[in-house]
Amino acid sequence: MSQKRIIRIGLLGFGVVGQGVWKNIEKNRQALEFRLGAQLDITEVVVKNASKPREVSVPVECYSTDPSRVVDNPEIDIVCEMMGGTGEALELTRRALKQGKVVVTANKALVCEHGEELFKIANENGGHYFYEASVAGGIPIIKTIREALVANRFKLIFGILNGTSNYILTRMEREGLSFEETLGDARQLGYVEADEALDLDGIDAAHKAVILAYLAHGKWVKLDEIICEGIREVSGTDIEIAGALGYKIKLLAVIARDFEANKLSVRLHPALIAKSEVIAGVDEVYNGVSVTGDVVGTTVLIGRGAGQDATSSSVISDIADAVFMIQGAPKPVISEEDEEVYRQLADGLELAVPADLAGRYYLRVHVKDEEGVLAKISNILAAHHISFATVNQKELADGTALIMLTTHASNETAVAAAKAALTAESVVVAAPVSLRIFEPSD
Amino acid sequence: MSQKRIIRIGLLGFGVVGQGVWKNIEKNRQALEFRLGAQLDITEVVVKNASKPREVSVPVECYSTDPSRVVDNPEIDIVCEMMGGTGEALELTRRALKQGKVVVTANKALVCEHGEELFKIANENGGHYFYEASVAGGIPIIKTIREALVANRFKLIFGILNGTSNYILTRMEREGLSFEETLGDARQLGYVEADEALDLDGIDAAHKAVILAYLAHGKWVKLDEIICEGIREVSGTDIEIAGALGYKIKLLAVIARDFEANKLSVRLHPALIAKSEVIAGVDEVYNGVSVTGDVVGTTVLIGRGAGQDATSSSVISDIADAVFMIQGAPKPVISEEDEEVYRQLADGLELAVPADLAGRYYLRVHVKDEEGVLAKISNILAAHHISFATVNQKELADGTALIMLTTHASNETAVAAAKAALTAESVVVAAPVSLRIFEPSD
């Protein structure tokens, strides 16, 4: 057998994903090294506490608490940043990339918030920043958009990018549970991030949407420029009514480009989606992404969006690409760091403002159960040029009622104004809740 | 703008896919060339008849009827074999690879039947043989298995790999049509290959299953060693009964590896699959592939399995990889031509014989509508150790009846013997039809 080149890897952080990378490289080491034509040595593992017991057995000399043994070590070929967060991880990633290293990350918050700077540093210093594991765990969505669908421009990318909220919505639907009950279970199963807003307010999925928008369209979008709404307002009643109307409720990331107007809409919100759509069938902790290219048509990828093994599968795929790059391959096909490419891709591209969004809506209005209440509501909606397609009413034990409507085509401004007007109406007992109806064929 | 390297491409054949490649490179040429850092020139288009009108406009000097202008031309960097068939295409592919060229193909029959020889020639002469478009059209299943899931070994790969038969089964299900009625429509829409056996007897999908088996497991399987059955025997009644029991009937390719016994099962046959499986929801002309890796878990890819644009999207993706290879990248991660790698991957791996297959079955028995007929059938099944889980009976206008059974776990040998015994029974008016029930979690 020929002598293989040794590739030295340093891990920053050794939590769930870091240990998964170690474990799974060991698991299939022989096949992996055959395929790569290289030997993979994880020589440095930087941790906060070297004596903490871990599920994998690592030679004691690999451990240190000193990140410079990875970041500033000329013998390290690939830096895997598996520590998470945007503090020390940013500083160390920056330092490694400045030295021309190849960095592999699963850190969506860091790529989303600082990707623009980090890709630039990578590009200027001859390294590369790989981030497959940062979006949709084990689903190879980055490689698919960047390489497999390189012939395409992307009119629409949408999907489910947060497993925890999908798990909650699935159990609410299947078991008729409330949001709070299901959340309790999800917490017990360890599915919810320590910072619960990441999962429940859509921030985690929005981070991923921002990364996909950049990958596909070369434009960095800020979270505060886009619609980012989580699942806290979705009730069991909403799911039930949506189901009866042929919809599921899913937390959707949507990246839609209008090539004629040269506008890009990036958003993250729960939405009603027809059960006949493949993405509507993506349940439990699974993620799914639907990509519509102008050549390939629509391709859908479904898989585990998180978890030690799925995420480390993607990290190892990036390590493989890094090994090829180190052996002489050009950087990946879409050169994310190349400003010229991205200026061109995003040339004149404007971000659609939230108010631009149009479509059909679902509205839940909590009212006093009085005569004429539906007429009052329809008058208010009509005043905002909103007509409705379906109406359902549900009596509550306390003598109030819920009125659930779906509308014909309307828009954000009209719906917001109508909701404000409804809230001010004396028969309305709580601020109405609205959900968008997502129709990918539009 | 920096001067880009010019990559010269020659097309062998200019039918539906060849014209799609031309059209779609033109369509997104600017973005594509930016991403590749190279200029793509299709300088030679070899056709049988240069004066035939075509949907794309090609400079007249590109056309010739002489394949040596592509295959033996030192200026051509990439040969796209878009002619199909296993005659001249084989001879020209062999000749191009012998000269160290990179060849891109969409020709599943050629890869399936002669891949072993062609990958060997490519490897010995420093070229490469790219074949993404040969399996599942626009779905990037080759790149996904080879690169994105490089960390994995594959316990199970299964799915729908022939759009025409899926279209027929979908319409039979939705509209209650017979196989013959739907086939007529499919023919009119141009969905059925000139050689209808390719679509209807499962051969096209079996070609693709053989390619995936090789990619994932390094073993070339011959079509005559495996179960390869098409959809001609599936009736509307089967679909209806399956539906009532919670199943769809799909033409499935299955590549299952038992790592403990080191056995590989490759097969292609219609099967009942639970509606809750994602693949069961892949309808119309769509293809879908479910890949279960030992690290990533299960990932499903769904998309257009054929057609000019989807197929050319995959061809262009291979051209992109070829351009990177020409610019210095090592060959793709799983080096299909590397005998050492594949000896290792397939070391000691044995092909499961069809008789090894076990599972549950669906049986349709056409009988005289006499007293005691069900008892007779159950006695025959019991004699072959087959017990049944469900029974449905349907009276026919001519006084005969159909009995549809699903069985508990059984196996190929027992079912074949039971079918022979049933055929010999006087109350049975036609040879029984059996379908396998596919349960991926097994």
> What would the pLDDT profile of A1-17 be if each residue is shown by its tens digit?
457 899 999 999 999 99
Task: Give me the mean pLDDT over the B263-271 stretch.
Answer: 97
Name the DSSP letter for residue B316. H
Name the DSSP letter for residue B55. S
- B24 closest CB neighbour out of A25, A151, A317: A151
Say what percent of chain A tops pLDDT 90: 83
Which residues are within 8 A (CB) of B174 and not within 5 positions of it... i.e. 6 or more apart? none
Query: Is B16 within 8 Å of B51 (Cβ atoms)?
Result: no
Range scoring the smallest mean pLDDT among A33-42, A223-232, B405-414: A33-42
* Cβ-Cβ contacts under 8 Å, A153 against chain B: 28, 31
- Is the Cβ pair A147, B320 closer than 8 Å? yes
Nearest to A191 by CA among A160, A161, A168: A168
- Is the Cβ pair A295, B321 closer than 8 Å? no
- Is the Cβ pair B27, A294 closer than 8 Å? yes
Residue with tokens 């410079």: A68
∠ CA A30-A34-A35, nearest 5°, is 120
The most distant pair of C-alpha atoms in chain A lies apart, rounded to whole Å, by: 86
CATH code of domain B141-305+349-354: 3.30.360.10
Range scoring the smallest mean pLDDT among A253-257, A413-417, B48-52, B232-236: B48-52
Judged by DSSP in three states, B331 sits in coil
Say what percent of chain B tops pLDDT 70: 95
pLDDT at A341: 57
> What would the pLDDT profile of A117-172 be if each residue is shown by its tens digit?
999 999 899 899 999 999 999 999 999 999 999 999 999 999 999 999 999 999 99
> How far B401 CA sits from the closest chain A CA (Å)?
35
Residue with tokens 């390619």: B211
Nearest to A299 by CA among B213, B141, B31, B168: B141
Burial class (CB in 10 A: 0-12, 13-18, 19+), A76: buried
- A344 closest CB neighbour out of B34, B132, B281: B34
pLDDT at position B439 over 90: yes
Structure tokens at B11: 């097309």
At residue A442 the predicted structure's pLDDT band, cuts being 50, 70 and 90, is: very low
pLDDT at A1: 45
Task: Give me the mean pLDDT over the A336-362 stretch.
Answer: 76
| Side-chain-side CA neighbours of residue B124 (13 Å) | 12
Question: Whole-number mean pLDDT of chain B?
Answer: 93
| Same-fold call for A5-140+309-345 versus A357-438 | no
pLDDT at B37: 86
Query: So which residues of A are the catalytic ones?
Result: 208
pLDDT at A393: 94
Q: What end-to-end distance do the CA atoms of chain B give, in Å?
A: 57
pLDDT at position A255 over 60: yes
pLDDT at B52: 86
Task: Give me the mean pLDDT over the A337-365 stretch.
Answer: 79
Nearest to A270 by CA among A281, A280, A278: A280
Residue in chain B nearest A324 by alpha carbon? B330
Measured CA distances, A93 to A10, A17, A107, A323 (Å): 12, 17, 11, 18
Measured CA distances, B275 to A153, A284, A440, B81, B272 (Å): 33, 16, 23, 39, 9
pLDDT at B340: 62
Q: What are phi and psi of B37, to 5 degrees?
A: 65, 30
Measured CA distances, B314 to B48, B309, B317 (Å): 24, 9, 5
> What would the pLDDT profile of A158-212 be if each residue is shown by its tens digit?
999 999 999 999 999 999 999 999 999 999 998 898 899 999 999 999 999 999 9
pLDDT at B425: 94
pLDDT at B31: 84
> How far B48 CA sits from the closest chain A CA (Å)?
27
Measured CA distances, B8 to B43, B44, B80, B319, B434 (Å): 6, 9, 11, 11, 52
Give the residue extent of every domain in chain B: 5-137+309-345, 141-305+349-354, 357-438
**Which residues does residue B11 pair with via DSSP β-bridges, in sequence order?**
B45, B80
Q: What distance in Å separates the CA atoms of residue B36 and residue B319, rounded to the nearest whole number?
A: 10
* Cβ-Cβ contacts under 8 Å, B312 against chain A: 151, 295
Q: What distance in Å separates the CA atoms of residue B171 and residue B433, rounded to the nearest whole number?
A: 21
Nearest to A242 by CA among A43, A433, A50, A414: A433
Structure tokens at A158: 């949408």
pLDDT at B342: 57
Written out in words, the top-level CATH class of the domain with range B5-137+309-345 is: alpha beta
Task: Give me the mean pLDDT over the B355-372 stretch.
Answer: 93
Judged by DSSP in three states, B328 sits in coil
Q: What distance in Å separates the CA atoms of residue A309 and residue A233, rounded to the nearest whole number?
A: 32
Written out in words, the top-level CATH class of the domain with range A357-438 is: alpha beta
Q: Which of B208, B248, B331, B419 is catalytic?
A: B208
pLDDT at A274: 97
Say what percent of chain B tops pLDDT 90: 84
Question: Whole-number mean pLDDT of chain A?
Answer: 93
Query: Is B172 within 8 Å of B178 (Cβ atoms)?
Result: yes
- A36 closest CB neighbour out of B282, B317, B333: B333
- Is the Cβ pair B300, A302 closer than 8 Å? yes
pLDDT at B331: 67
- Is the Cβ pair A293, B313 closer than 8 Å? yes
Measured CA distances, A8 to B194, B267, B328 (Å): 54, 41, 22
Q: What are phi and psi of B344, to 5 degrees?
A: -65, -50
* Cβ-Cβ contacts under 8 Å, B153 against chain A: 28, 31
B34 or B338, which is more confident: B34
Which residues are within 8 A (CB) of A72 and not within 5 positions of it... i.e. 6 or more apart? A95, A99
Q: What distance in Å separates the CA atoms of residue A145 and residue A141, rounded to the nearest whole number?
A: 6
Query: Is A118 within 8 Å of A192 (Cβ atoms)?
Result: no
pLDDT at A52: 86
Q: What distance in Å separates the CA atoms of residue B406 and residue B428, rounded to the nearest whole number?
A: 18
Query: Does domain A148-303 match CATH 3.40.630.10?
Result: no
- Is the Cβ pair A324, B328 closer than 8 Å? no
Residue with tokens 């196996």: B411
Task: Give me the mean pLDDT over the B21-25 stretch.
Answer: 97
* Amino acid letter, A344: Q
ipTM metric? 0.92
Give, for B368, the enclosing helix (H) or strand (E): strand B358-368
Give, for B42, the enclosing helix (H) or strand (E): strand B38-46
- Is the Cβ pair B147, A294 closer than 8 Å? no
At residue A328 the predicted structure's pLDDT band, cuts being 50, 70 and 90, is: confident
pLDDT at B337: 45
Measured CA distances, A330 to A334, B2, B328 (Å): 11, 16, 7
At residue A344 the predicted structure's pLDDT band, cuts being 50, 70 and 90, is: low
At residue A345 the predicted structure's pLDDT band, cuts being 50, 70 and 90, is: low
At residue B50 the predicted structure's pLDDT band, cuts being 50, 70 and 90, is: confident
Q: What are phi and psi of B336, to 5 degrees?
A: -60, -25
Task: Give me the mean pLDDT over the A44-61 stretch.
Answer: 91
Nearest to A156 by CA among A5, A264, A11: A264
pLDDT at position B1 over 50: no
pLDDT at position A68 over 90: yes
A vs B, Cβ pairs < 8 A, gives 207
pLDDT at B335: 44
> How far A347 CA sits from the closest chain B CA (Å)?
11
pLDDT at position A223 over 70: yes
Q: What distance in Å separates the CA atoms of residue B177 and residue B185, rounded to the nearest whole number?
A: 11
∠ CA B387-B390-B395, nearest 5°, is 115
The DSSP line for A246-272 is TEEEEEEEEEEEETTTTEEEEEEEEEE
Q: CB count, 10 Å around CB of A4?
A: 13
CATH code of domain A5-140+309-345: 3.40.50.720
Q: What distance in Å separates the CA atoms of residue A64 and residue A10, rounded to the nearest whole number?
A: 11
> What would the pLDDT profile of A283-324 be if each residue is shown by its tens digit?
999 999 999 999 999 999 999 998 999 999 999 999 999 998
Measured CA distances, A29 to A2, A128, B25, B98 (Å): 17, 24, 39, 33
- A35 closest CB neighbour out of B140, B150, B302: B150
Nearest to A179 by CA among A198, A160, A200, A162: A200
pLDDT at position A342 over 60: no
